Amino acid sequence: MDREDKSREKREAIKEMVFEINSPGGTPFASKEIATCIENMDKPAIAWVREHAASGAYWIASACGEIVADELSTVGDIGVMSIRPDIGELMKKFGIDVETLKTGIYSHLLMLDPKL
């Protein structure tokens, strides 16, 4: 039996995959890439959450068929938050005029002025 046959035999002996997750998250690209790999596996997948599976880590866990977590585990919390100060009045006070050039319907969302 050669190395490839032994490797195939070991893979076939695996009945399901358990992913131990303990993470506050990660980048959207990496999370999607890992979740896609899990979704494309030919074995059942279980996410075992230690303390945290938040943000991108929750995305990964949700790709599994089952999520197992302790009652004290933090699971979930996908979201993005950004602070956007309104400095329009301050700009007027100092005589600062802004001309906005933009492309895309959401490209203005982080502008400091004007109000949305």
Distance between CA atoms of 27 and 4, rounded to whole angstroms? 35
Amino acid at the residue 94:
F
Per DSSP, helices labelled H in the chain are 3-13, 28-39, 56-62, 88-93
- Range 81-98 burial, b when 16+ CB lie within 10 A, else e: eeeeeeeeeeeeeeeeee
Among 31, 55, 73, 82, the one annotated catalytic: 55
Catalytic-residue membership of 55: yes
| Chain center to CA of 81 | 14
What residues are labeled active site? Answer: 55
